[in-house]
Amino acid sequence: MLSYRHAFHAGNHADVLKHAIVIQMLRYLGQKDKPYWYIDTHAGAGVYSLTEGFATKTAEYETGIARLWDRGDAPPLITDYIDEVKALNPDDDMRFYPGSPYLAYRVMREQDRMRLYELHSTEIDVLRHNFRDAGRRTMIYEGDGFDGIKAILPPPPRRALVLIDPSYEDKRDYARTLTCVEECLKRFSTGTYAVWYPIVTRPESQRFAEQLKAIQPKGWLHASLIVKAPPKDGFGLYGSGMFILNPPYTLAAELKSALPFLVDTLGEDSNASFKLEHRAD
């Protein structure tokens, strides 16, 4: 939706789960010399201030990255994520939070490429500014990533991570995401697709993971993190999930140690929990 601004939510518990997983999947792709593409259907602004503007109104980062900032006992997947966020804050003062595109840009190598979509007219201006020196490795498209991605699949190197993470403020985003995944798999069946989704009381959210499993019965991983009980009024985010199609074979083992740590660190009440399930080819 054009009213949505991710800066309100930057660095929250959902960002922690999403970005820690994205970093590890890109690390995995980078183990081979052959190049890969990173494709983001809803890129946002790329970098967010935590000390001014939208983020200060909600301070959601206090439920996420702030709780991890000084932890020296995190498992490797989480430590890698913390280190990448701290790289944007070299004085160790938590002032900025990197979105998915910025984290991907840091992890990418010279031979890799990034394709970013953003529909919001203000966000894309900020995104372009933040990547003004990125050169030919990065291309930014103003438009709907659900539609735009079809034109660039399959990517020339036949290796890619596609992140699909709309806001879901419009409940139609659930159906559009399912359709997007189905159509992308027809064009590029071997790509890795990472679908982020919010855990809220809305029925579309509650059945979403099972619908994704039905698209590809094998070759998927589902990780979710719940940080508190569902709100009594039925509104608000109390967890999030990542559903990966064609995941790296190493990811499940990495999450097996990372998710309990996130429950202990980010959990807000006794309802905090995680789910990790996967099915190989």
Q: Which residues belong to the active site?
A: 165
Cα–Cα dist 201/245, whole Å:
24
Cα–Cα dist 141/128, whole Å:
10
Amino acid at 92: D
CB 112 within 8 A of CB 141: no
Sign of CA dihedral 226, 228, 230, 234: negative
Residues composing the chain: 281
CB 276 within 8 A of CB 252: yes
CB 204 within 8 A of CB 171: yes
Q: How far is CA 208 from the centre of its chain?
A: 16
User: For residues 51-76, b (16+ Cβ closer than 10 Å) or e, as one string?
Assistant: eeeebeeeebbebbbebbeeeeebbe
CB 166 within 8 A of CB 41: yes
Amino acid at 210: E
Residue 110 exposed, middle or buried by CB count within 10 Å (0-12, 13-18, 19+):
exposed
Element holding 245 (H helix, E strand): strand 239-245
